[in-house]
A and B are shown apart, each in its own frame.
Chain A
Amino acid sequence: MALFITCLGDLFFPRAGMAVVKLLEHLGVEVTFPEGQTCCGQPQWNSGYPEAAAALARHFLDVFDGADYIVSPSGSCASMVQHYYPEIFRDDPARLDRTRQISGRIYEFTQFLVEVLGVEDLGARYPARATYHQSCHMTRLLGVEEPPLRLLRNVRDLELVPLEHPELCCGFGGTFSVKSPEVSVAMADEKLDDVTRTGADLLVGADPSCLLHLAGRAHRRRLPLKIMHVAEVLAEGVGL
């Protein structure tokens, strides 16, 4: 299994990445980390620069060529590869073919645990009142909604309370967060207000980008809220 850490994961969420590594090794999976990896190209793609995104997508294909499974702690980056790479290589038959092969093998981390390894209960224990932020690309483009919730529901002493509007975007949206900072922040505020209303002290997510945005806003507002990646909750809960 090859880990795709993503650029944001590498820079800002190294502990979530290590949590993924430790959990998978704990489950007996051999984890590799292709050193040449960089970024999936989503920022370029979403901002309207398909050629620039294609350069990174080509690089991605070269780096992960031959991997049996590719697992990422980011639902959004996994969806970029699976959902948009076929469009990027629409007119490049050789790469389109390689993309199709890779598309069937790339998984978001919790999806990999549940759908490939068939693991839903890690025997973890994590005492907290938590709520889960559903990230958009992971649910709508990658089609992964249930796996993180199933894993979290099986964590002992973790009281999982639902958000009023789990489907609402947190407002990150890549470059949207700096092109429309006021609306982006207003969206984060609504999400954080919803979180606060649940009485949760812990916010869990499966996308470093959403977490970075929400943590940044929560910190500016001095909200006493702990924000963690789902892999961190699980790894700590297992004692890894």
Chain B
Amino acid sequence: MAGGTFRARARKALENPRLRRAVRVTMNNFMSARRAAMAELAQLAREGLALGDFAAMRERARAIKQHTLDHLDHYLARAATAIGERGGHVHFAAGAHEVGEIVREIARRRGVTLAVKSKSMATEEVHLNRALQADGIEVVETDLGEYIIQLAGETPSHIVGPAIHKTREEIAQLFGRVVGRELSTDTPTLTGVARQVLREKFVRAGMGISGANFVVAETGTLCIVTNEGNGRLVTSAPPVHVAVVGIEKLVPTLADLYVFLGLLARSSTGQKISVYTHMITGPRRPGEADGPEELHVIFLDAGRSDILGTEYQEVLHCIRCGACLNHCPVYRQTGGHAYGAVYSGPVGTVLTPLLGEFRDWKDLPAEACSLCAACWEACPVGIPLHDLILKHRQKTAREGLDQSGLGGPLRLGAAAWTKPWAYRLSVRVGRLALRWFAREEEGGRRWAVKAPGPLRAWTEGRDLPAPPEKSFRELWAEHLRERGQRA
């Protein structure tokens, strides 16, 4: 697990104005682009040109996902057969170790010394680069954002935009180190450098490694959605292509794929569809001009099958669009690294404790969410992320892992407040105490600037008003008397 706690990492992020500005600007862009895309989708639906508006599409997508996950064995077998029939090789990996072994074995057999990668959260999850580098294989990320964070020695801070936390100046510095000269910060210069360096890698690479956004079970087709041309080069230029795919990425048919493609880019970046939608069915066939000689698909479990059939199953609907991150007010303040794991934001808050040791990650659901439900609203496959976070909190409490110190008071409060007299007594005591701690101010209003006990954290950044002189109950009693007199 990552060092420290969410709270400590969040605090560090909050002290970084550059990071916060960068994250906020990108989130604003994503949010407004999505809003426009959704309005347009609704218009298309009215004209009969789309499968439905967002709500209707989301319902369809959700139903497809649920059906696929309920019959995952069947669809995995179907996909494996289809991939095999078209000349691909299928592997099943239980976890990070197995993925590393499978890819290293292929690399050894083919004498690979350089591998190029397109963006893939699954390979981030299993730390594949580290495994290959241990064998002396050079691994180069070719997605611009991934390349940037690889140079910086960091992990992605966003599912879709791994380097959104980086400013132009930081990127110019990183690229400047690669080419050994000082660079200006304009876009053509920076992308030009990346292109120049990476093209040479594409030509020399013995292996291309990708993920897949979807795998169509019926045809064994890998669907890879990107906005940069690198994905096409990774999967077609080197002689070997290896795709690492979470088992939950399956969809039954090409028609189902259409539903998801209509939702993915719109939810993510507000595009109707992304710049490249790449469909790969099998390796190069005789007589074809390009494509790899060998295609391997590694289906990754890594804790996913443990989620099947549990109350958390819906998190496996996730299509990694990042919409929940883009709309999360906590992510917006802290960026992705505060979450300390590969997956950040609301989906990371749900997924990370499930894929790792729950005990190590329980502070994410406890502290990284205000339960505003914006993630659920934005989610194109309708995952009730806020409710799954609640389930994590219940588990934390149930297993005695809640260290907030609030469990006792909350339980005690509930027991007392089922008795109206105890409620009234505690409110009276609370009122007196708060009025005692609140110092007098001009204008007659009193505020506590330093409260005791569990309220101390409140007054770290906020004042707490003293309760007004009379509670509602007292005002109500007076009102009743007046009403009686009037009647």
The CB with the most chain B CB atoms within 10 A, among A33, A45, A185, A216, is that of A216
Q: Are B417 and A56 in contact (CB under 8 A)?
A: yes
Q: Are B464 and A140 in contact (CB under 8 A)?
A: no
A14-B468, A38-B423, A56-B417 given; A220·B377 CB < 8 A:
no
Q: Are A190 and B333 in contact (CB under 8 A)?
A: yes
**What's the Cα separation between A33 and B14 when bound, in Å?**
44
**Which residues from A are CB-within-8-Å of B10?**
180, 182-183
B135 within 8 A of A: no
**What's the Cα separation between A60 and B316 when bound, in Å?**
36
B376 within 8 A of A: yes
Q: Are A182 and B462 in contact (CB under 8 A)?
A: no
B372 within 8 A of A: yes
Q: Are A56 and B414 in contact (CB under 8 A)?
A: yes
Contact digits for A172-193, partner B, Cβ 8 Å, 1 yes 0 no: 1111111111111111101000
Q: Which of B143-151, B237-245, B297-305, B470-478 contacts A (4 or more CB under 8 A)?
A: B470-478
Q: Are A52 and B410 in contact (CB under 8 A)?
A: yes
Q: Are B457 and A48 in contact (CB under 8 A)?
A: no
Q: Which residue of B lies closest to A186 (CB)?
A: B333
Q: Are A56 and B463 in contact (CB under 8 A)?
A: no
A33-B476, A47-B397 given; A179·B367 CB < 8 A:
yes
Q: Are A49 and B461 in contact (CB under 8 A)?
A: no
A7-B427, A11-B467, A178-B454 given; A38·B475 CB < 8 A:
no
Question: How far apart are A148's CB and chain B's nearest CB, in angstroms?
Answer: 18
**What's the Cα separation between A33 and B420 when bound, in Å?**
13
**Which residues from A are CB-within-8-Å of B395?**
48
Q: Which residue of B lies closest to A45 (CB)?
A: B390
Question: How far apart are A193's CB and chain B's nearest CB, in angstroms?
Answer: 11
Q: Are A220 and B463 in contact (CB under 8 A)?
A: yes
B369 within 8 A of A: yes
A98 within 8 A of B: no
**What's the Cα separation between A171 and B461 when bound, in Å?**
12
Q: Are B472 and A50 in contact (CB under 8 A)?
A: no
**Which residues from A are CB-within-8-Å of B7?**
179-180, 182
Q: Which residue of B lies closest to A169 (CB)?
A: B372
Q: Are B476 and A21 in contact (CB under 8 A)?
A: yes
Specify which of B6, B398, B454, B472 is in contact with A10 (CB 8 Å cutoff): B472
**What's the Cα separation between A36 and B424 when bound, in Å?**
9
Q: Which of B68-76, B267-275, B399-407 contacts A (4 or more CB under 8 A)?
A: B399-407
Q: Which residue of A lies closest to B416 (CB)?
A: A38
Contact digits for B335-365, partner A, Cβ 8 Å, 1 yes 0 no: 0000000000000000000000000000000
The CB with the most chain B CB atoms within 10 A, among A5, A167, A186, A188, is that of A186
**What's the Cα separation between A207 and B411 when bound, in Å?**
24
Question: How far apart are B191's CB and chain A's nearest CB, in angstroms?
Answer: 31
The secondary structure that dominates the A interface is helix
B383 within 8 A of A: no
The total of chain B residues at the interface (CB under 8 A) is: 69
Q: Are A178 and B457 in contact (CB under 8 A)?
A: yes
Q: Are A48 and B472 in contact (CB under 8 A)?
A: no
A10-B427, A46-B390, A53-B414 given; A180·B368 CB < 8 A:
yes
A48-B393, A49-B410 given; A188·B479 CB < 8 A:
no
A181-B460, A183-B14, A216-B462 given; A50·B394 CB < 8 A:
yes
A185-B461, A220-B462 given; A180·B367 CB < 8 A:
yes
Specify which of A18, A47, A216 is in contact with B472 (CB 8 Å cutoff): A18
Q: Are A47 and B373 in contact (CB under 8 A)?
A: no
Q: Are B479 and A21 in contact (CB under 8 A)?
A: yes
Specify which of B374, B398, B464 is in contact with A167 (CB 8 Å cutoff): B374
Question: How far apart are A167's CB and chain B's nearest CB, in angstroms?
Answer: 7
**Which residues from A are CB-within-8-Å of B462?**
177, 185, 188, 213, 216-217, 219-220
Q: Are A11 and B431 in contact (CB under 8 A)?
A: yes
**What's the Cα separation between A176 and B329 when bound, in Å?**
13
**Which residues from B are CB-within-8-Å of A39?**
413, 417, 423
Specify which of B376, B410, B447, B449 is in contact with A47 (CB 8 Å cutoff): B410
Residue ranges of A at the interface with B (Cβ–Cβ < 8 Å): 5, 7, 9-15, 17-18, 21, 33, 35-39, 41, 43-50, 52-53, 55-56, 58-59, 136-137, 140-141, 165, 167-169, 171-188, 190, 212-213, 215-217, 219-220
A-B residue pairs in contact (CB < 8 Å), sample of 21 = A7-B427, A14-B472, A15-B475, A36-B420, A44-B411, A45-B390, A46-B393, A48-B395, A50-B394, A52-B411, A136-B371, A167-B327, A172-B370, A174-B370, A176-B367, A178-B457, A179-B7, A186-B14, A212-B465, A216-B463, A219-B463
